[in-house]
């Protein structure tokens, strides 16, 4: 018997593409065209009416594509597949995770408003809020101390309301790189309570990059929008950049309009690569997750390792653990560990690696490793960096799909060199 809704692994393989609509081609053709020819003058008018009304080009015989910055067939296919994976009504796809984030925040937050966010934030999001929207738009950002604690979330909300109307609560969970957990359902409940107070509730937007659609579904937890950097686990091969935002049609449609103005759409070839990559996301997520658990256990038991922040090791009986178990279907495969020592010891270990590659980014087939303080967190002042848990001994690891014995073997021989 067919289930009501196909399994996500099945959605990832085929949703959003119908061979019958494309000459029977088993795989999506790439529509390399910047513009689309109208059948006649009336068709041109109805196509533009359709765009302004927010109707998808394939939704009726009189609709149509206009110009690839507005919309194009490969974008539609990928949006439909990502919407299905995120269990959303609609999705907008962008040319990077940051394009998705900047288009969303610049659409949703008015000058003078405030934003509440989990902390630490992805560096690009932090920069957008504090270096652009702060000084240029008078938007003030307020961090949440402990995002599984109701009092701490409410305190950040109260501070924000004292500054100005609260436009957005931006949630990253698990956080990069320390796997800090935020309770999406709790934050969504607190946001809804503000509806009477300020006319409309602030929108809760979750950056789901660290887990991806197979391990965490923010919309089902009560979030309004789910943002994902497709560069990471969706792309999965460290060879493209992309981003997406999913949610109710009424919220996503204005983001597509803003995307047209900002030119932040993803091109046909990038969409096609992502459609192809998504087909193996289930297999990759499973294998990388199993490897990550084995690597995390090896590191936890190693005498030269001081700490491992793998989400699977969250302390029993903690609020973070309870939230993690309710919210996530797995621990993912990116985490940090601290070696005993500092920068010199970390560098010695990293330079002794033979299989693992030294690079930022995450979610690829290959295992990537980097020294956080001198790479991803280089621009964060030392005091703030250390307060957020990133010391000179902190190393981030994105575990890939190689054989686990080779990953562990490489780490073992490199740790001996410290």
Ligand X SMILES: *Cc1c(COP(=O)(O)O)cnc(C)c1O
Identified catalytic residue from 232, 256, 259, 284: 232
Any catalytic annotation for residue 207? yes
Strands 243-247 and 203-207: unpaired
- Between residues 232 and 284, which has the closer beta carbon with respect to ligand X? 232
Helix axes 73-85, 268-278, angle to 10 degrees: 30
Give the span between the Cα atoms of 80 and 120, in whole angstroms: 31
Is there a cis peptide before residue 400, judged by omega within 30 degrees of 0? Answer: no
Residue where the block lists tokens 């957990």: 181
Minimum distance from residue 318 beta carbon to ligand X (Å): 22
Q: How many Å is the Cα radius of gyration of the chain?
A: 22
Q: What's the token pair of residue 209?
A: 């990059």
Under rule CB under 6 A, residue 147 binds ligand X = no
Minimum distance from residue 37 beta carbon to ligand X (Å): 33
- Between residues 360 and 412, which has the closer beta carbon with respect to ligand X? 360
Q: Which of 17, 51, 65, 122 forms a contact with ligand X (CB under 6 A)?
A: 122
Give the span between the Cα atoms of 176 and 231, in whole angstroms: 15
Any catalytic annotation for residue 340? no
Please say whether the beta carbons of 212 and 281 come within 8 A.
yes
Identified catalytic residue from 17, 31, 65, 122: 122
Is there a cis peptide before residue 174, judged by omega within 30 degrees of 0? Answer: yes
Give the span between the Cα atoms of 19 and 148, in whole angstroms: 45
Least Cα distance to 85 among 204, 234, 229, 187 occurs for: 234
Minimum distance from residue 416 beta carbon to ligand X (Å): 31
Q: Which of 241, 252, 266, 397 forms a contact with ligand X (CB under 6 A)?
A: 241
Give the span between the Cα atoms of 82 and 11, in whole angstroms: 9
Under rule CB under 6 A, residue 243 binds ligand X = yes
Identified catalytic residue from 86, 146, 183, 207: 207
Q: Which of 76, 217, 231, 264 forms a contact with ligand X (CB under 6 A)?
A: 231
Minimum distance from residue 330 beta carbon to ligand X (Å): 17
Minimum distance from residue 376 beta carbon to ligand X (Å): 9
Identified catalytic residue from 55, 67, 69, 357: 69
b/e per residue 207-219 (b: at least 16 CB within 10 A): bbbbbbbbbbbbb
Residues 156-175 that bind ligand X (CB under 6 A): 172
Under rule CB under 6 A, residue 74 binds ligand X = no
Any catalytic annotation for residue 122? yes
To the nearest 10°, the Cα dihedral for 153, 156, 157, 162?
160
Any catalytic annotation for residue 69? yes
Binding mask 191-220 for ligand X (x = CB under 6 A): ----------------x-xx----------
Residue where the block lists tokens 């959605």: 11
Under rule CB under 6 A, residue 98 binds ligand X = yes
* Nearest position to ligand X, beta carbon: 97
Give the span between the Cα atoms of 337 and 399, in whole angstroms: 12
Under rule CB under 6 A, residue 372 binds ligand X = no
User: Considering only 14-22, 95-103, 289-297, 377-385, which stretch makes contact with ligand X by CB under 6 A?
Assistant: 95-103
The residues binding ligand X (CB under 6 A) are 96-98, 122, 124, 172, 176, 207, 209-210, 229, 231-232, 241, 243
The catalytic site residues sit at 69, 122, 207, 232
């Amino acid at each position: 018997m067919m289930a009501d809704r196909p399994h996500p692994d099945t959605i990832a393989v085929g949703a959003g593409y119908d061979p019958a609509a494309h000459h029977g081609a088993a795989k999506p053709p790439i529509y390399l065209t910047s513009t689309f020819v109208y059948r006649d003058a009336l068709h041109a008018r109805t196509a533009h009416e359709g765009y302004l009304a927010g109707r998808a080009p394939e939704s009726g015989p009189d609709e149509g594509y206009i110009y690839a910055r507005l919309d194009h067939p490969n974008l539609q296919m990928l949006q439909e597949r990502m919407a299905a994976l995120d269990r959303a009504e609609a999705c907008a796809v962008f040319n990077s995770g940051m394009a998705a984030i900047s288009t969303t925040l610049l659409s949703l937050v008015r000058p003078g408003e405030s934003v509440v966010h989990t902390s630490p934030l992805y560096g690009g999001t932090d920069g957008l809020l504090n270096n652009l929207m702060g000084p240029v738009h008078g938007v003030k950002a307020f961090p949440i101390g402990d995002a599984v604690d109701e009092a701490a979330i409410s305190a950040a909300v109260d501070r924000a309301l004292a500054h100005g109307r609260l436009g957005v609560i931006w949630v990253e969970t698990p956080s990069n790189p320390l796997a800090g957990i935020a309770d999406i359902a709790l934050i969504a409940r607190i946001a809804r309570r503000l509806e009477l107070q300020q006319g409309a509730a602030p929108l809760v937007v979750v950056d789901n990059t660290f887990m991806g659609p197979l391990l965490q579904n923010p919309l089902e937890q009560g979030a309004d929008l789910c943002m994902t950097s497709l560069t990471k686990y969706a792309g999965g091969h460290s060879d493209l950049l992309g981003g997406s935002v999913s949610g109710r049609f009424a919220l996503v449609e204005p983001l597509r309009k803003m995307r047209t103005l900002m030119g932040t759409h993803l091109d046909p070839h990038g969409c096609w690569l992502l459609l192809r990559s998504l087909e193996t996301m289930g297999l990759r997520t499973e294998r990388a997750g199993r490897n990550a658990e084995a690597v995390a256990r090896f590191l936890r038991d190693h005498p030269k390792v001081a700490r491992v922040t793998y989400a699977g090791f969250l302390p029993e009986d903690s609020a973070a653990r309870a939230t993690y178990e309710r919210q996530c279907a797995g621990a993912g495969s990116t985490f940090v560990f601290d070696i005993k020592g500092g920068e010199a010891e970390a560098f010695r270990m990293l330079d002794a690696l033979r299989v693992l590659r030294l690079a930022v980014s995450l979610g690829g087939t290959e295992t990537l490793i980097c020294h956080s303080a001198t790479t991803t967190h280089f621009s964060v002042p030392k005091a703030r960096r250390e307060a957020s848990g990133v010391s000179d001994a902190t190393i981030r690891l994105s575990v890939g799909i190689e054989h686990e014995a080779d990953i562990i073997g490489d780490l073992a021989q490199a740790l001996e060199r410290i």
